[in-house]
Chains A and B, each alone.
Chain A
Amino acid sequence: MNRSFWLVARREIVERARSKAFLIGNLVVILIVVGIVVAQAMASGNEGPLRVGIVGVEAGELAAAADPVATSIGVVLQTETLPDRATAEAALRDGRVDVALVDGETVLSEGMLSRADEALFSAAAQRLALTKALDEAGISPGDQDEVLSPPPPRVETLTDDESGSAGFLVALVAATVLYGMLILYVQWVAQGVVEEKTSRVVEVLLATVRPSELLVGKVVGIGLLGLAQIAVTIAAGVIALQITGSLQVPAEGWTAIALVVAWFVPGYALYGMLSAVAGALVNRTEDLQVTTTPMVMLLVVGFFVAQFAAMDPLSPLARIGGFVPFWAPLVQPLRAAAGAIPAWEIVVSLVITLATIALLVPLAARLYAGGALRVDRRIGLREAWRTAADRRW
């Protein structure tokens, strides 16, 4: 394309990026992502050692017995010897220790003791009692360890399908988020088109720019801005993950995100173009709902097909959905994340999608051209098509 097209795209990016609404929107998205990550980190409860105050010799023995138990469930104990019960209570209130063991009989806690901690100290008490009994029976410490710390049992899950995999879950979340963003950006396109009509600036523009340049420039500009927003969102998530160190995203998770984002581009191109046409048909923002409804229906149905396809990637519905031009960008990344699908299917659906875009550009440009200068009322597709013939483009 030429210079006008880039000028149009650049205006969209600069003007929108400068707007308060965009900045606030970005901030909200970042806060949500960071919030989710932090909430995850809190829920997984992986926050430093369990600080134990110790009062008396027996308490020290109990703590020593608790140590291997704690290690086996991934908890680190940090002990501190305190002179008496009063000091221990004060330390608890100050938050200097999480629990205090008094004379090997009492576990002091400021609030309710968590079940895990309760179980930990019960097990420790049992272990201590067992150790003493084994000592009395004359069993050597080495043999005692064998009895007291058997290898952990092997864990087997009943459900073994791929849909339970981390990659699939990440893809599902990413697809849902991007689906929401797709709707947002596509709305920007339609509203932008209508705003140019209601403000009448469109006639000034079309006196010097081709409708196709204006249309594609607008769609591309908003799309690039959208991709930037997606990148910022992902970056915020990654940084939050790094800082909290809580959630490990497996490699297949990143692959899934990459797939979803890669398919987002042609998906946005398709729906962005439809949306511009929907905008060109109306002369008031209020009427947008009427003309965008068919497109939104197409998108929503596609999203549901994608959900089904994800559950059973090789079912007939999933395979067909992967070849429907307006659905493929939603269906294929989820199918790919949910399980292996034949490479030829991806290639064919990519070809179909790109061919649809290539066909849609001139079609949408003509409809847009026919509608853009009709500022008097809402028109239908047929009228837009015929009006376009009345202009010199």
Chain B
Amino acid sequence: MLEIRGLRRKFGEFVALEGLSFTVGRGQVFGFVGANGAGKTTTMRIVMGVERAESGEVWWQGKPADRAARRRFGYMPEERGLYPKMRVANQLTYLAQLHGVAAAGAAASTAHWLERLGLADRATSRLEQLSHGNQQRVQLAAALVCDPVLLVLDEPFAGLDPTGTDALSEVLLDLAKRGVPVLFSSHQLELVERLCDAVAIIDHGTLVASGTVEELRRRRGQLLWRVDVAADHRDWMAGLRGVTVERETDRGVVLRLGCGSDEQAVLDAARAAGPVSHFGAVSPTLAELYREAVSP
């Protein structure tokens, strides 16, 4: 389990992190969401130890993360980079060994991930000879080859085509199934929603929401209701307390139920206006939740 505890970090006058805390559980695929400059990259760099926090701590398995623990973390930094002239397999084996894997294990792990990511035939190519997409795959392999106990991936889906996205998703879910927590950041909120067990939404260096997507929805309350009704007039809901029209649809309206409203009263009013074919709460997407969470 990875615990982020009250991280603070300033760059000159710019406050990057202001007491950020969240927890990534065992086997969780954890989406890290926020605008550019919200502090995602800084957080991940602090987790990996390439950046220092002014205060706050990173805990791993119940104690502060030290060098030995971090050696087993797999990392894909925001700015990708490997040795352009080094051969792919040599490069991955070298990185695995730097992470403390013995020579034989490093070679085996390299072969495994090259095979798994469809790069087996490029093992002896220099990195620079590979296409951009394949270089991305090697970068992912570089994070995986040390047989990590935790994965920290900064925008791993950026620049991937649909096939690459699917392949990466599959790998991440696979690792999570084996108990490896996967922390990754992304701007593709549909993808995060589909993939993640839990998310953290951060804004200006602070956590604005975290938990499973379901929890976020529940916590917010059912705000939007879709009413499909063949009403004889459009303002049948006028006069209901706390109810506003969010938008009109082909078959009716989506209503926002605010403070002091009563959905049963809304239903009664709708039935009075005409036959109701659908009445139910609208689940907000993560994108909607995100927008609500970060809007001032």
Nearest B-chain residue to A390, judged by Cβ: B52
**A8 CA to B97 CA, complexed, in Å:** 10
B75 CB within 8 Å of chain A: yes
**Residues in B42-99 with C-beta less than 8 Å from chain A:** 48-52, 67, 70-71, 73, 75, 77, 79-86, 94-95, 97-99
- Which chain A residues lie closer than 8 Å to B81 at the CB level? 199-204
Nearest B-chain residue to A11, judged by Cβ: B94
Nearest B-chain residue to A205, judged by Cβ: B98
Nearest B-chain residue to A210, judged by Cβ: B67
Interface size for chain B: under 10, 10 to 19, 20 to 34, or 35 or more residues? 20 to 34
Binary contact track A1-45/B, C-beta < 8 Å → 1, others 0: 001100110010001000100000000000000000000000000
**A374 CA to B8 CA, complexed, in Å:** 20
**Residues in A357-373 with C-beta less than 8 Å from chain B:** 373
**Residues in B26-56 with C-beta less than 8 Å from chain A:** 48-52
Residue of A4, A8, A11, A391 near B50 (CB, 8 A) is A391
User: A207, B75: Cβ atoms under 8 Å?
Assistant: yes
Q: Assuming the A-B contacts A199-B83, A204-B82, A207-B50, are A4 and B77 also in contact, with contact meaning beta carbons closer than 8 angstroms in the complex?
A: no
Binary contact track A365-387/B, C-beta < 8 Å → 1, others 0: 00000000101000000000000
B142 CB within 8 Å of chain A: yes
A392 CB within 8 Å of chain B: yes
Q: Assuming the A-B contacts A4-B98, A7-B98, A208-B70, are A203 and B83 also in contact, with contact meaning beta carbons closer than 8 angstroms in the complex?
A: no
User: A201, B75: Cβ atoms under 8 Å?
Assistant: no
**A19 CA to B67 CA, complexed, in Å:** 33
**A7 CA to B52 CA, complexed, in Å:** 26
Chain B contact residues: helix, strand, loop or mixed: loop
- Which chain B residues lie closer than 8 Å to A202 at the CB level? 81
- Which chain B residues lie closer than 8 Å to A200 at the CB level? 77, 79-81
**B7 CB to closest chain A CB, in angstroms?**
13
Q: Assuming the A-B contacts A7-B98, A208-B70, are A392 and B75 also in contact, with contact meaning beta carbons closer than 8 angstroms in the complex?
A: no
User: B86, A15: Cβ atoms under 8 Å?
Assistant: yes
Residue of A4, A7, A204, A375 with most chain B CB atoms under a 10 A cut-off: A204
**Residues in A330-374 with C-beta less than 8 Å from chain B:** 373
**A191 CB to closest chain B CB, in angstroms?**
12
Binary contact track B240-266/A, C-beta < 8 Å → 1, others 0: 000000000000000000000000000
**A201 CA to B142 CA, complexed, in Å:** 11
- Which chain B residues lie closer than 8 Å to A317 at the CB level? none
Q: Assuming the A-B contacts A201-B81, A202-B81, are A207 and B49 also in contact, with contact meaning beta carbons closer than 8 angstroms in the complex?
A: yes
A209 CB within 8 Å of chain B: yes
A311 CB within 8 Å of chain B: no
Residue of B49, B51, B83, B100 near A201 (CB, 8 A) is B83
User: B50, A203: Cβ atoms under 8 Å?
Assistant: yes
**A199 CA to B82 CA, complexed, in Å:** 6
- Which chain B residues lie closer than 8 Å to A207 at the CB level? 48-50, 70, 73, 75, 77
17 contacts between A and B (CB under 8 A): A3-B100, A4-B98, A7-B98, A15-B85, A15-B86, A196-B83, A199-B82, A199-B83, A200-B77, A200-B81, A203-B50, A204-B75, A207-B70, A207-B75, A208-B95, A210-B67, A391-B50
| Additional A-B contacts beyond A7-B98, A8-B98, A15-B85 (6; CB < 8 A) | A7-B94, A19-B85, A203-B79, A208-B70, A208-B146, A390-B52
